[in-house]
Amino acid sequence: MISDILINIVRFFLLIFLQVLVLDQLEISGPVNGYFNAYLYILFILMLPVNINKLFLLFLSFITGLTIDLFTGTPGMHASASLVIAFLRPSFLHVIAPREGYESTVRLTMQGMGGSTFLVYAGVMTFVHHLSLLLIEAFNFLNFFDLLLRVLTCSVFTMVLIVMSQILSQRSKGGAES
Protein backbone atom coordinates (compact mmCIF):
# COMPACT_ATOMS: atom_id res chain seq x y z
CA MET A 1 0.00 0.00 0.00
CA ILE A 2 2.77 2.38 1.05
CA SER A 3 4.78 1.39 -1.97
CA ASP A 4 1.72 2.03 -4.13
CA ILE A 5 1.57 5.61 -2.93
CA LEU A 6 5.32 5.98 -3.38
CA ILE A 7 5.17 4.58 -6.89
CA ASN A 8 2.44 7.05 -7.80
CA ILE A 9 4.36 9.98 -6.34
CA VAL A 10 7.47 9.00 -8.26
CA ARG A 11 5.41 8.50 -11.42
CA PHE A 12 3.83 11.94 -10.94
CA PHE A 13 7.18 13.75 -10.86
CA LEU A 14 8.67 11.59 -13.56
CA LEU A 15 5.82 12.27 -15.97
CA ILE A 16 5.67 15.98 -15.13
CA PHE A 17 9.40 16.35 -15.81
CA LEU A 18 9.17 14.28 -18.93
CA GLN A 19 6.28 16.39 -20.17
CA VAL A 20 7.68 19.78 -19.29
CA LEU A 21 11.39 19.25 -19.97
CA VAL A 22 11.24 16.94 -22.99
CA LEU A 23 7.87 16.74 -24.76
CA ASP A 24 6.97 20.43 -24.45
CA GLN A 25 10.38 21.36 -25.80
CA LEU A 26 9.87 19.42 -29.02
CA GLU A 27 9.32 21.84 -31.80
CA ILE A 28 8.26 20.69 -35.20
CA SER A 29 8.40 23.70 -37.42
CA GLY A 30 6.51 24.00 -40.65
CA PRO A 31 2.92 23.25 -41.59
CA VAL A 32 2.64 20.27 -39.22
CA ASN A 33 3.42 22.41 -36.19
CA GLY A 34 0.76 21.73 -33.57
CA TYR A 35 -0.19 18.37 -35.08
CA PHE A 36 2.30 16.32 -33.08
CA ASN A 37 2.12 17.47 -29.48
CA ALA A 38 2.13 14.63 -26.99
CA TYR A 39 0.61 14.97 -23.55
CA LEU A 40 1.99 11.96 -21.81
CA TYR A 41 1.34 13.34 -18.30
CA ILE A 42 -2.24 12.04 -18.45
CA LEU A 43 -0.77 8.56 -17.96
CA PHE A 44 -0.51 9.48 -14.26
CA ILE A 45 -4.29 10.02 -14.12
CA LEU A 46 -4.95 6.86 -16.09
CA MET A 47 -2.76 4.73 -13.85
CA LEU A 48 -4.04 5.90 -10.48
CA PRO A 49 -5.35 2.92 -8.48
CA VAL A 50 -8.68 1.54 -9.61
CA ASN A 51 -10.27 1.83 -6.15
CA ILE A 52 -9.10 5.38 -5.46
CA ASN A 53 -11.60 7.74 -3.85
CA LYS A 54 -13.41 9.54 -6.66
CA LEU A 55 -13.10 12.96 -5.05
CA PHE A 56 -9.41 12.37 -4.46
CA LEU A 57 -9.08 11.35 -8.11
CA LEU A 58 -10.62 14.63 -9.18
CA PHE A 59 -8.39 16.58 -6.85
CA LEU A 60 -5.20 14.83 -7.98
CA SER A 61 -6.10 15.33 -11.63
CA PHE A 62 -6.76 18.99 -11.02
CA ILE A 63 -3.38 19.36 -9.32
CA THR A 64 -1.65 17.50 -12.16
CA GLY A 65 -3.22 19.69 -14.83
CA LEU A 66 -2.51 22.83 -12.86
CA THR A 67 1.14 21.85 -12.43
CA ILE A 68 1.51 21.46 -16.18
CA ASP A 69 -0.31 24.79 -16.59
CA LEU A 70 2.21 26.49 -14.33
CA PHE A 71 5.00 25.47 -16.66
CA THR A 72 3.21 26.21 -19.92
CA GLY A 73 1.78 29.50 -18.66
CA THR A 74 -1.82 28.60 -19.49
CA PRO A 75 -3.61 28.52 -16.11
CA GLY A 76 -6.77 26.40 -16.17
CA MET A 77 -6.31 24.84 -19.59
CA HIS A 78 -4.72 21.51 -18.70
CA ALA A 79 -6.49 21.51 -15.34
CA SER A 80 -9.85 21.66 -17.06
CA ALA A 81 -9.03 18.94 -19.60
CA SER A 82 -7.60 16.71 -16.85
CA LEU A 83 -10.74 17.15 -14.79
CA VAL A 84 -12.83 15.97 -17.74
CA ILE A 85 -11.05 12.60 -17.98
CA ALA A 86 -10.95 12.26 -14.20
CA PHE A 87 -14.71 12.78 -14.15
CA LEU A 88 -15.27 10.17 -16.88
CA ARG A 89 -12.70 7.63 -15.63
CA PRO A 90 -14.83 5.79 -13.01
CA SER A 91 -17.84 5.45 -15.32
CA PHE A 92 -15.73 4.41 -18.29
CA LEU A 93 -13.81 1.83 -16.24
CA HIS A 94 -17.15 0.48 -15.10
CA VAL A 95 -18.29 0.15 -18.72
CA ILE A 96 -15.21 -1.69 -20.00
CA ALA A 97 -14.77 -3.83 -16.88
CA PRO A 98 -15.28 -7.59 -17.12
CA ARG A 99 -18.62 -8.90 -15.88
CA GLU A 100 -17.45 -9.49 -12.30
CA GLY A 101 -15.78 -6.06 -12.11
CA TYR A 102 -12.18 -5.21 -11.33
CA GLU A 103 -10.44 -6.55 -8.33
CA SER A 104 -9.26 -3.71 -6.13
CA THR A 105 -5.72 -4.98 -6.59
CA VAL A 106 -5.71 -4.88 -10.37
CA ARG A 107 -3.23 -2.45 -11.89
CA LEU A 108 -4.44 -0.23 -14.69
CA THR A 109 -1.57 -1.20 -16.99
CA MET A 110 -1.32 -3.06 -20.25
CA GLN A 111 -0.28 -6.11 -18.33
CA GLY A 112 -2.91 -5.78 -15.63
CA MET A 113 -5.91 -5.09 -17.84
CA GLY A 114 -4.92 -6.96 -20.96
CA GLY A 115 -3.53 -5.33 -24.08
CA SER A 116 -6.70 -4.59 -26.03
CA THR A 117 -8.75 -3.35 -23.05
CA PHE A 118 -5.90 -1.11 -22.01
CA LEU A 119 -5.59 0.26 -25.54
CA VAL A 120 -9.30 1.07 -25.63
CA TYR A 121 -9.19 2.59 -22.15
CA ALA A 122 -6.12 4.72 -22.78
CA GLY A 123 -7.13 5.54 -26.34
CA VAL A 124 -10.57 6.86 -25.46
CA MET A 125 -9.27 8.76 -22.45
CA THR A 126 -6.45 10.29 -24.48
CA PHE A 127 -8.83 11.30 -27.24
CA VAL A 128 -11.29 12.89 -24.79
CA HIS A 129 -8.48 14.72 -23.01
CA HIS A 130 -6.93 16.03 -26.20
CA LEU A 131 -10.31 17.05 -27.60
CA SER A 132 -11.12 18.96 -24.40
CA LEU A 133 -7.70 20.55 -24.30
CA LEU A 134 -7.65 21.72 -27.90
CA LEU A 135 -11.24 22.94 -27.69
CA ILE A 136 -10.42 24.99 -24.62
CA GLU A 137 -7.32 26.29 -26.37
CA ALA A 138 -9.27 27.28 -29.51
CA PHE A 139 -12.26 28.41 -27.48
CA ASN A 140 -14.53 28.36 -30.53
CA PHE A 141 -15.88 25.92 -33.08
CA LEU A 142 -14.37 27.57 -36.15
CA ASN A 143 -12.15 25.21 -38.18
CA PHE A 144 -13.59 22.35 -36.18
CA PHE A 145 -12.44 19.68 -38.64
CA ASP A 146 -8.89 20.99 -38.61
CA LEU A 147 -9.06 20.85 -34.83
CA LEU A 148 -10.39 17.30 -34.96
CA LEU A 149 -7.50 16.29 -37.20
CA ARG A 150 -5.04 17.76 -34.71
CA VAL A 151 -6.78 15.89 -31.88
CA LEU A 152 -6.38 12.62 -33.80
CA THR A 153 -2.71 13.09 -34.71
CA CYS A 154 -1.79 14.25 -31.20
CA SER A 155 -3.73 11.35 -29.69
CA VAL A 156 -1.86 8.87 -31.88
CA PHE A 157 1.44 10.42 -30.87
CA THR A 158 0.53 10.26 -27.18
CA MET A 159 -0.73 6.69 -27.51
CA VAL A 160 2.55 5.61 -29.12
CA LEU A 161 4.42 7.06 -26.14
CA ILE A 162 2.03 5.42 -23.66
CA VAL A 163 2.42 2.00 -25.26
CA MET A 164 6.20 2.45 -25.38
CA SER A 165 6.24 3.34 -21.68
CA GLN A 166 4.13 0.25 -20.92
CA ILE A 167 6.48 -2.01 -22.83
CA LEU A 168 9.52 -0.45 -21.14
CA SER A 169 8.10 -0.85 -17.64
CA GLN A 170 7.04 -4.41 -18.44
CA ARG A 171 10.62 -5.29 -19.44
CA SER A 172 12.10 -3.76 -16.32
CA LYS A 173 9.66 -5.63 -14.10
CA GLY A 174 10.23 -4.97 -10.48
CA GLY A 175 11.87 -1.62 -11.23
CA ALA A 176 10.17 1.77 -10.97
CA GLU A 177 7.36 2.13 -13.43
CA SER A 178 7.31 5.06 -15.67
Partner 1 sequence: MRNFFLIIRKYNFFIAFLLLQGISVFLLVKNNSYQREVVVSFSNQITGKIYAAYADVTDYLTLGITNRLLAEENARLRKADSNSFYDKSFKLIKVNDTLYEQQYEYISARVINNSYTKVNNYLTLDAGKNKGIQRDMAVISSTGVVGIVNDVSEHFCTVISALNSKTRISSMIKKNGYFGSTIWSGGSPQSGSLLDIPSHAKVAVGDTVVTTSFSLYPQNIMVGKVAEIGTSGESFKEIKVKLSTDFQNISYVYIVRNLLKTERDTLEAKLNANDQ
Which 27-56 residues touch partner 1, going by CB under 8 A?
54-55
Tally of CB atoms within 10 A around 133: 24
Task: In whole angstroms, give the CA distance from residue 45 to residue 89.
Answer: 9
Helix axes 77-96, 54-72, angle to 10 degrees: 150
Q: How large is the C-alpha radius of gyration of the chain?
A: 16
Closer to partner 1 by Cβ: residue 75 or 115 = 75
Q: Which of 13, 17, 59, 144 binds partner 1 (CB under 8 A)?
A: 59
Q: For residue 76, state whether it binds partner 1 (rule: CB under 8 A).
A: yes
Q: Which of 87, 97, 161, 163 binds partner 1 (CB under 8 A)?
A: 87
Q: Report the 10 Å Cβ neighbour count for 111.
A: 13
If the CB atoms of residues 59 and 144 are measured against partner 1, the closer one turns out to be: 59
Q: Whole-angstrom Cα distance, residue 163 to residue 124?
A: 14
By the rule CB under 8 A, 116 interacts with partner 1: no
**Candidate residues 14, 23, 36, 80; the one interacting with partner 1 per rule CB under 8 A:** 80
Among 38, 86, 125, 131, binds partner 1 (CB under 8 A): 86
